[in-house]
Structure 1
Amino acid sequence: MITKKIDDNSVSLIPEESDDLFTLRRVIDSGDKIVGDTSRVVKQEKDFARPDKGERIKIRVALDVEKISIDDVVDRLRVQGTILESDNPSVSKGTHHSLTLKIGDAITLTKKNWTEIGKKLVFGKKDQGTFVLVSIDTTDCGLGRLSGTHLKLLPNMYSGASGKRYKTKFNIEEFFKDVSSAISTITRDGDGIIVFGPGETKKRLANFLGEIPSVKVHKIQVVDGIDASGEDGIYTFIKSDIMKQTLHESKIAKVSSILDETMARANKKSNKFTMGFEETSRANSAGAVESMVFSDKIFENQDEDKVIEFLNQVEAKGAQVYAVDSTTDAGLRVSALGGVVSLLRFALQG
């Protein structure tokens, strides 16, 4: 999440992945003030306008928060409250409004009192890392941006090459130019670029990228051992041990390691892990949770406020807490295991 502190009470925020939306759900409370962009239907007062017809316009409002909830639609938060301020005179102050927050939406949050957990979640050091993944061969290239555990894929790019022996003239540098242009559109300050795929094409591309001023400012890393290209290559990399070695300090590598260790302990009949909300909640009450991973699946059969309280309690006791979504294999694995898994400091009796 991109954050910029304004003063002791206010901060500007831009969520970059589902985890950030979960964080906002845990931080925003009733009585807080949120400033953001939204839309609202305003009745027309023009001559001959239908009295029941309104025009939907974009507005910027400040809301006095009354309720916040995870929307039924994936990757959205719904914030309900009354309008304190608006940049449109047609929108009355004091009226109720619902603001929908999505990945990439910028808001300003003002709280009268920040809790220690809230400060940690918003201002604490993040270890997630962001990377542009490039999976290339002579025929195609897959591109994706990995932020934390959220993966956003671009459509596959194709070179036009038709096999090992090209019957028509083929200039791979033209393909590299197209790929580098696409990389530039999704790369942000601080992103690393990871290039992989079969054969030597990945090394040739890395050398090509190293000559482009706007790209070479990023750390470019070539990774061997992935024998697929395109979208398939990216998914292969995300699931691999090579990913955990290459991105060992990243959030997705840590989450994958927790999941692998959970399954290893399950196979050994160890009691030092949990799966599911009730079991993990009991372990947390005993102070046993060392690290925990959850997905939006955890909210399906539990009261949302109860889950949020549980997550904050786990964090308050010093456990590492990670959220994942369904864009990666890690998120799908957690959802299949009841929406939450944890590693324990000690085994629970009974």
Structure 2
Amino acid sequence: MRVERRVLKKDEGEIKLIPQSLDDIWHLQHIIDKGDLISSYAWRDISNSTDKIRPDKQEKKKIWMGIDVEETKFHKFSNRLRITGKIRTGTDIGQYQTLNIEPGSEISIFKERWKKDQLERIDDAVKASNQPKVIIITIEEGEASVGILRQYGIDESFNISLSSGKSGGESKRTEFFADLVKQTVNLFSEGTKIIIAGPGFTKNDLYKYIKERHPQLVDSIILEDVSSIGVSGYQEVLRRGAIEKIINEDRLSKETRYIDILLREIATDGLAAYGMVEVKKSNEFGAIDTLLILDQFLRDKRDLSEDIDSFLNEIEAKGGRLIIFSSDFEPGKKLAGLGGIAAILRYKIS
């Protein structure tokens, strides 16, 4: 994310941004609220009054316009955020317009009240743009799953299996490695890091294959032991701190660590509360050390005009920390199953 302009007076004002990746588009979904004034370029039909033969002829022009947000939709597979609302500035005032925001788009966000977590999210996105891309290969004999670390989760890119058949032996295994590496290289860019993880020795054999055939990739590789591949394998990689060997603790590693702590406390009837009723009660006693809240839960509360932000500010004023979970990855899904909000406590309350 790149910040082009920031003009704030207290909590009110405009921030102009240029998202640079799919991660940035995802961040914007959780920064933009209903009622915000969002401005960007859009194509509109403009009548050509100078055309005497066809006075009603329409032509499309790219126009900078602002809309009052009514709806946002994140389309991960088309790399865009669609923002819909009535036009406030530009042309055709009062009509509906959808702004399609993609990496490289200019977007201005004006809010009457910027929330603390929204400003922090912009700062996080700016910092993350300077961090290396991370590819995670989870592999066992004859099967591999490959994903890219995003700020909202592990985006699984492809799965590959060793072709079946009684003959072939080592040549088929070599072909499997070759196909796996070829597809992985297509995801690779300058500065990319690769984590190869899995049970047994297959990951070591893959590393040897890469060292022999693609020595330029070797310095980018970290090996990690995990017990399975796919989604559970990705989670193990995060738990084991492999990402922190490459970059400072990212939001996903933090979410994984804290959901594990929470679930352990719940299982032992320890220092945990979950669901809005229990969390509110814990806050009344000043017992909250760390609040875990789902991004979609927070967004829904804000859309319903519930004063969730005063509640969060109260927790922070009492010394509590706030961690916002992505609803798109496993830790967030586990938190959703607990009501979307939970807390790790300083002490147990009755």
TM-score higher than 0.5: yes
Tell me whether 1:94 sits opposite 2:93 in the alignment. yes
Within the candidate set 11, 23, 27, 1:16 is matched to 23
Counterparts in 2 of 1:142 and 1:236: CA distance versus 1, 3 Å: same
Counterparts in 2 of 1:199 and 1:307: CA distance versus 1, 3 Å: farther
Aligned Cα RMSD in Å?
4.5
In the TM superposition, 1:93-132 aligns within 5 A as 93-99=92-98, 106-111=105-110, 115=114, 117=116, 118-124=118-124, 131-132=134-135
Q: Is the 8 A contact 2:135 2:194 kept in 1?
A: yes
**What is the identity, as a one-letter code, of the residue corresponding to 2:87?**
T
Within the candidate set 318, 322, 326, 1:320 is matched to 322
Tell me whether 1:243 sits opposite 2:246 in the alignment. no
Counterparts in 2 of 1:241 and 1:145: CA distance versus 1, 3 Å: closer
**What is the identity, as a one-letter code, of the residue corresponding to 2:242?**
T
Counterparts in 2 of 1:336 and 1:42: CA distance versus 1, 3 Å: farther
Q: Which residue number corresponds to residue 89 of structure 1? A: none
Q: Which residue number corresponds to residue 7 of structure 1? A: 5
> How far apart, CA to CA, are the structure 2 residues paired with 1:208 and 1:149?
32
> How far apart, CA to CA, are the structure 2 residues paired with 1:29 and 1:156?
42
Q: Which residue number corresponds to residue 254 of structure 1? A: 254
Tell me whether 1:158 sits opposite 2:161 in the alignment. yes
Kindly provide the CA deviation profile for residues 154-208 of structure 1, in whole angstroms up to 9, marking residues without a partner as x. 3322342546xx4477254443333223223334555431112344332232344
Counterparts in 2 of 1:25 and 1:301: CA distance versus 1, 3 Å: closer
Q: Is the 8 A contact 1:135 1:142 kept in 2?
A: yes
Size of the aligned set, in residue pairs, is: 321
- Give the match's secondary structure for 1:274: strand
In the TM superposition, 1:272-283 aligns within 5 A as 272-281=271-280, 283=282
Within the candidate set 78, 85, 94, 1:80 is matched to 85
Q: Is the 8 A contact 1:67 1:81 kept in 2?
A: yes
Q: Is the 8 A contact 1:238 1:329 kept in 2?
A: no
> How far apart, CA to CA, are the structure 1 residues paired with 2:70 and 2:32?
7
Name structure 2 gaps, 5 residues minimum.
8-15, 48-55
Q: Is the 8 A contact 2:23 2:150 kept in 1?
A: yes
- Give the match's secondary structure for 1:264: helix
Name structure 1 gaps, 5 residues minimum.
44-50, 86-91
Identity of aligned residues (%): 13
Instruction: State TM-score, norm by structure 2.
Output: 0.69
- Give the match's secondary structure for 1:133: strand
Kindly provide the CA deviation profile for residues 60-98 of structure 1, in whole angstroms up to 9, marking residues without a partner as x. 55342423545599996644241645xxxxxx4435334
Per-residue deviation, 1:265: 2.2
- Give the match's secondary structure for 2:23: coil
> How far apart, CA to CA, are the structure 1 residues paired with 2:259 and 2:161?
35
Q: Is the 8 A contact 1:299 1:307 kept in 2?
A: no
> How far apart, CA to CA, are the structure 1 residues paired with 2:216 and 2:6?
36
Tell me whether 1:201 sits opposite 2:202 in the alignment. yes
Instruction: State TM-score, norm by structure 1.
Output: 0.69
Q: Which residue number corresponds to residue 34 of structure 1? A: 39
Counterparts in 2 of 1:322 and 1:95: CA distance versus 1, 3 Å: same
Per-residue deviation, 1:216: 4.8
Per-residue deviation, 1:25: 2.8
Counterparts in 2 of 1:250 and 1:206: CA distance versus 1, 3 Å: farther
> How far apart, CA to CA, are the structure 1 residues paired with 2:159 and 2:216?
22
> How far apart, CA to CA, are the structure 1 residues paired with 2:273 and 2:26?
21
> How far apart, CA to CA, are the structure 2 residues paired with 1:234 and 1:244?
15
Per-residue deviation, 1:221: 1.0
Q: Which residue number corresponds to residue 181 of structure 2? A: 180
Q: Which residue number corresponds to residue 230 of structure 2? A: 234
> How far apart, CA to CA, are the structure 2 residues paired with 1:314 and 1:65?
33
